[in-house]
Structure 1
Amino acid sequence: MPQLSVIIPVRNEAQVLPRLLDDLSALRAAGAELIVVDGGSSDGTCELALGRVDQLLRSAPGRALQMNAGAAVARGEYLWFVHADTRVSAESLSRLQSVLGERPLWGRFDVRLSGGGLAFRVIGWMINLRSRLTGIASGDQGIFVTRQGFDALGGYASIPLMEDLQLCRRLRVQARPRCLRPPLSTSSRRWEEKGIWRTVVLMWCLRLAYYCGVSPEKLARQYRRGSLL
């Protein structure tokens, strides 16, 4: 039985998935299990994963549904959920393997946005600070959790947005997360496409609305539109 199962939800990620699989190849060679869960790609994503992962699954679209599908077949003692547009350094992998030996319930990484410029460094710093203060992580921070802890909570809630926050809030009741460095690199494409500060404001407002009880279904529609209106 592997110590670690890496679960990667994808949908039309042919441009970025091969780079992540390159990053994880040494981890797989060391015995980790790689699981890619496709939510209906039409750009050849699945073909690019063939032969490079241990399991390639098809699922209904939706990040929570896909991650739960991957977790259901995973054999590892720990589950590590990684977005396809993430880059992982050898130093980060080494740190993760070291920490898992200490048997924490769960944890996450700091992140660094891929875009150049001071604004992206500030945004990354804000994300990491917020996470350290609140004990809540977002999905692009590479959340890892024990198989037993994940199953005890019933996995991710089947909601279209905020599934990562909801899981972290439940885990935080039992333990604060381990916060790891060096950071993962996560794509800044959404900020670049929609506008840096417009996206920052939108994400903070969506979080606030979620904490105030607005339904994840409504928030998901606003997230896709890139507007609260």
Structure 2
Amino acid sequence: MTPISIIIITLNEEKRIGRLLDDLSKQSHQQFEVIVVDSNSDDNTCEVARGFEQALPSLTVHKMEQRGTSLGRNTGAEIAKHERLLFLDADVRLPPTFIANALHQLESKKLEVAGAYMNADNLSVGYRLGYIAFNAGLFATSFFFPTAVGACMFSTKRAHNEIGGFDTDITLCEDCDYAKRAAQTWRYRMIPVSFWFDPRRLEQDGFFKMGWTYFKANVRRFFFGEMRKNEMEYKFDHYKDAN
């Protein structure tokens, strides 16, 4: 099966990066490299990541001087050795067969760029309903105005380079912009695999507030285009650890 480069962006994720790297070490498909791109963390994120060098022999930890979600993903794509790319945030979790199942779907559907669904297992009924609604939106928009969750997103070096990577001038919905631009050349779809998405974002921002923020952002994008002048301010790392 196809080898893959896994790019993980981090910023002060010492409590979570180890969980994701442990998940990767247990994947049924092991033909991959892991590139941790750190946005100059103030904590021990890089040290924790390097502690997995034995469990993940093809692990690289790259610390940037500047901070930025899109900058980190683009930096990782430049370092990547393999054609197939998987962009991850540090606070997601993956089941053991995630990569194998995803690659099967990507190859059988001949997809260059694709998204994955959010798994709400072990969350409250309210969150589950919210995730169902959000996933339904991801599926529906994939056919005419792609939206995506950059926390878990597939691409290829060819597609990434031809669209110019993630737009570093966009601070909100840069992942949706990436999917939209990619879909202008290649067919973009959601594939039937899911990842566990840390609910701290929903808990700290508030479920309805966060949902309303993204709804407004995508409606605005649909009618007026991408936001490059901080029309809706949103910070890369404002989430605090609950434990």
Gapped regions of structure 1 (runs ≥ 5)? none
Query: Under a length normalisation based on structure 1, what TM-score does the superposition of the two structures give?
Result: 0.88
Q: Which residue in 2 is equivalent to 1:81?
A: 87
Aligned residues of 1:77 and 1:146 also touching (Cα < 8 A): yes
d(CA) in 1 for partners of 2:13, 2:197? 14
**Structure 2 portions without partners, runs of 5+:** 54-58, 239-243
Q: CA deviation at 1:141?
A: 5.4
State the AA in 1 paired with 2:104. S
Which of 66, 76, 79 in structure 2 is aligned with 1:70? 76
DSSP-derived class of the 2:233 partner: helix
Deviations 1:68-116 (A, max 9, x none): 0010010011010011111111232221132344342121111124672
Moved more, 161-170 or 99-108: 99-108
Deviation larger for 127-136 or 30-39 = 127-136
Matches of 2:234 and 2:106 in 1, distance apart?
37
Give, in whole Å, the separation in 2 of the partners of 1:10 and 1:222. 17
Instruction: Name the structure 1 match of 2:195.
Output: 184
1:128 equivalent among 131, 135, 158: 135
Contact 1:109 1:141 in 2 (8 A): no
Partner of 1:109: 116
The code of the aligned residue for 2:161 comes to D
* CA offsets 1:115-146 (integer angstroms, 9 cap, x no match): 72122112211221111111124334521112
Structure 1, 209-218 or 65-74: larger mean CA deviation:
209-218
The structural deviation recorded for 1:215 is 2.8
The alpha-carbon deviation at position 217 of structure 1 amounts to 4.1
Contact 1:86 1:140 in 2 (8 A): no
The residue that corresponds to 2:7 in the other structure is: 7
Choose 78-87 or 153-162, whichever is displaced more.
Answer: 153-162
Indicate the RMSD between aligned Cα atoms, in angstroms. 2.3
Between 1:67-76 and 1:149-158, the stretch displaced more is 149-158
Partner of 1:200: 211
In structure 2, relative to structure 1, the CA distance for the partners of 1:73 and 1:179 (3 Å cut) is same
CA shift for structure 1 position 20: 0.5
Q: Which runs of 4+ in 1 moved over 4 A?
A: none
Q: C-alpha displacement at 1:58, in angstroms?
A: 1.6
Aligned partner of 2:3: which letter?
Q
CA distance in 1, matches of 2:43, 2:232: 23
The match for 2:39 is 39
1:118 aligns with 2:125: yes
Aligned 8 A contact 1:20 1:87 in 2? yes
User: Match of 1:37, SS?
Assistant: strand
Cα separation, partners in 2 of 1:164 and 1:140, compared to 1, 3 Å: closer
Q: Partner amino acid for 1:195?
A: G
- Contact 1:89/1:184 (CA < 8 Å) preserved in 2? yes
Residues 106 and 191, structure 2, Cα contact 8 Å, conserved in 1: no
C-alpha separation in 2, matches of 1:63 and 1:73: 16
Count of matched residue positions in the alignment of Structure 1 and Structure 2: 224
Identity of aligned residues (%): 25
State whether residues 206 and 219 of structure 1, in contact with CA within 8 Å, keep that contact through their aligned partners in structure 2.
no
Greater Cα shift, 211-220 or 103-112: 211-220
Q: Name whichever of 67-76 and 84-93 sits farther off.
A: 84-93
2:155 maps to a residue whose letter is V
Partner letter of residue 172 of structure 2? L
Greater per-residue helix proportion: 1
